[in-house]
Structures are given as C-alpha cells and as structure tokens.
Amino acid sequence: MSAFKWPNDARLAVSLVVNVEEGAEENILDGDRGPEPVDEFQVALGKPIRNYGNETNYQYGIKAAAPRVLKLLQQSKIKATFTSAAVALERAPQIAKQIMADGHEVCAHGYRWTAQHRFDETAEREFISKAVESITKTTGKRPDGWLARYLITGNTRKLLIEQGFTYHMDDYSDDVPFWDASGEKPIVVVPYALDTNDMKMWMAPAYTPDQWLKYITDTFDELYAESADSPKMMSVGVHLRIIGRPGRFGQLRTFIEHAKSKPGVWFATRKEIADTFAAQVKAIEIGIGGP
C-alpha cells in the first residue's frame, strides 16, 4: 500500500466515536415487536409491552449525559464523530444543534437503531436513504460515513457507495484505513473497534470502569509505540447512556488527558481520517476504481 501521513507529522490518530442511539431504540410505540432488549440489567422482555424503566435509562443519555460529554469535549478542545441514529437526533434537536455548533461530525448510525441485517436489498436501500434525508434535515449536513448496529448485509457497502457515502465503519480488521471496492466506485473503510468500546461495561457487568480505562490506555500505549514506525489509528467507542454516567465518566476524562499528554497525537473525526488517507493513497494506484 502507498505510504500516507497524518497532518502535522502526527503519529497516532485517536478517533473518539460517540454513539447517539437514545430515542431510536426498539419500542412498541414505533411499531416494533417489543421493547429494546439491550439494557443495563440485561432484561429481555418476551411480551410486546413497554419497558418504561429502560426507556428512562435511555433518556438519561440525552438529558444528563449528552451535556456532560459535550462539555468535556469543549474543555479538551477535541473533535469527535457522533455516530447517530437519525431518529435519535430528530427527537433531540437540541443535541444535534450543539454537536454541529461545536464542530463535531455526525456519521449515520441507521435511521433507527435496529437490525439492518434483516433487510432485503430494497428495504436496506430505503433504510439508508431515510437516514440520509433525516440527518441532513436535522443537522443541515448530509452524513459522509455509515456505521450499522453491528450486523450488515452483503449489499450494505454497495448501497453506501451507490448513495454517495465516502467511508464505511463496519469493519474491525485493521488499525489503519484502507480502500475497498464492492460496487462501481471504491470507498474508504475506516475500521472500528469493539474491544475498546464502553458497551463492554453493559454486556459484562463484572467489567468495571477501571478495567475499561486500563484496557484502552494499554491499547493507546501499544499503538503509540508502534506509530513511531508508521501511522496508526485508535478507535474509542462510547455511548451517551453508558459513559455519561458519573461513575464511568471520569475514566473517559482520564484517558483523554493521558492521550493528549503525548506528542504527535491527533484527535480526529472519522471524516478527517478518511479524507486524509484518500488524499494521499489514491484508489487507482492500488488497482481499484477508475479515473
């Protein structure tokens, strides 16, 4: 692969990804089969009834956590990518307004926070199109990137290319961006990471905030050491309703302070990473795409 560099001779790009899903999760009020099964207590209800308690658990992400996270980013003078389910931003326009005012990026995280992999090609195309239309209307800018709710289809990347996306996040295969061509045009893949994601503290209750902090700090330190030889990228994925709780929030602040203390660290949005890579490594040079 052709060589590339981060701006200002940075060696490690740190990509902070803030997932905004609250208000777009499964709910019978939106025609879903049942309430959202993913919650702090791991209680999956088998009946089509409302889970009022979990609804308020998600609301915490918007009401209390979002201002906390946005304030930290302001104080730290860093930009993040907010992977947002379109309906979540529709229902919290004040959060969308603040995200854009602070210069962050909004990446599409589906129209609803739902199982995209169940769709046939026609339904998935419509799902992607609705997300683009909604986010563009809410934020004033169309999204450049896409992250699904974990599972995608064999058509996803082709449909994203078809609808003008410039990068895709549903990949966990590397610590640097790369080109992929599943359709008529190439698209940059900016890999994500599950191991450094705060969702682990929901899915494994015994996994403490201090353990999460140690893991992401160890990850940073290893990638930082490796980046002395070639540019690297680190993803840190967080969720408003998870990391925004007071007992976890300090760990995010501590990590940011640690990363900022090292020279040559670039906190960047996903779009900035994708654009920087694409400007230096041309798809045509590595045998994909056309002029």
pLDDT band at 2 (very low <50, low <70, confident <90, very high): very low
Helix (H), strand (E) at residue 237: strand 232-239
DSSP 73: H
Residue 290: the pLDDT is 46
Give the pair of three-digit tokens for residue 268.
Answer: 């960047």
**Is 91 a residue whose pLDDT tops 60?**
yes
Mean pLDDT throughout 223-250?
A: 97
Domain residue ranges of the chain, discontinuous segments joined by +: 7-286
Would you state the pLDDT for residue 181?
77
Compute φ and ψ for 84, nearest 5 degrees: -120, 130
How many helices (DSSP H) and strands (DSSP E) are in the chain? 11, 9
Interacting residues of 229 by C-beta distance below 8 A, sequence separation 6+: none
Give, in order, the Cα–Cα distances in Å from 206 to each of 32, 91, 125, 202, 210.
31, 33, 39, 9, 11
Residue 76 pLDDT more than 90?
Answer: yes
Cβ burial, residue 200 (10 Å; 0-12/13-18/19+): middle
| Angle, CA 247 vertex, CA 216 and CA 113 arms, to 5° | 70
Tokens in use for 51? 């889970």
Q: Which two tokens stand for residue 26?
A: 């499964």
Distance between CA atoms of residues 94 and 102, nearest Å: 12
Write the DSSP symbol of residue 281: S
Work out the pLDDT band at 177, boundaries 50, 70, 90.
very high
Least confident of 136-140, 188-192, 195-199, 205-209: 205-209
As a whole number, the mean pLDDT across the chain is 94
Output the pTM of the full model. Answer: 0.95
Contact 179, 186 (CB under 8 A): yes
Phi, psi of 233, rounded to the nearest 5 degrees? -135, 140
Please state the rounded mean pLDDT for residues 116-127: 95
In 3D, which of 145, 187, 143 has the Cα closest to residue 283? 187
24 is written with which tokens? 């777009």
Contact 171, 136 (CB under 8 A): no
Give the integer Cα–Cα distance in Å for 3 and 68. 38
Tokens of 136: 């563009």
Task: Please compute the mean of the pLDDT values over residues 276-286 and round it to a whole number.
Answer: 83
**53 Cβ contact list (under 8 Å, min separation 6):** none
pLDDT at residue 37 tops 50:
yes
Q: Which helix (H) or strand (E) element contains residue 19?
A: strand 12-20
Structure tokens at 250: 């300090």
Residue 198: the pLDDT is 97
Token representation of residue 116 = 């995209």
- Superfamily, domain 7-286: Glycoside hydrolase/deacetylase (3.20.20.370)
What's the rounded Cα separation, in Å, for the pair 168 and 91? 25
- Enter the tokens of residue 2: 């052709």
**pLDDT band for position 115 (cuts 50, 70, 90):** confident
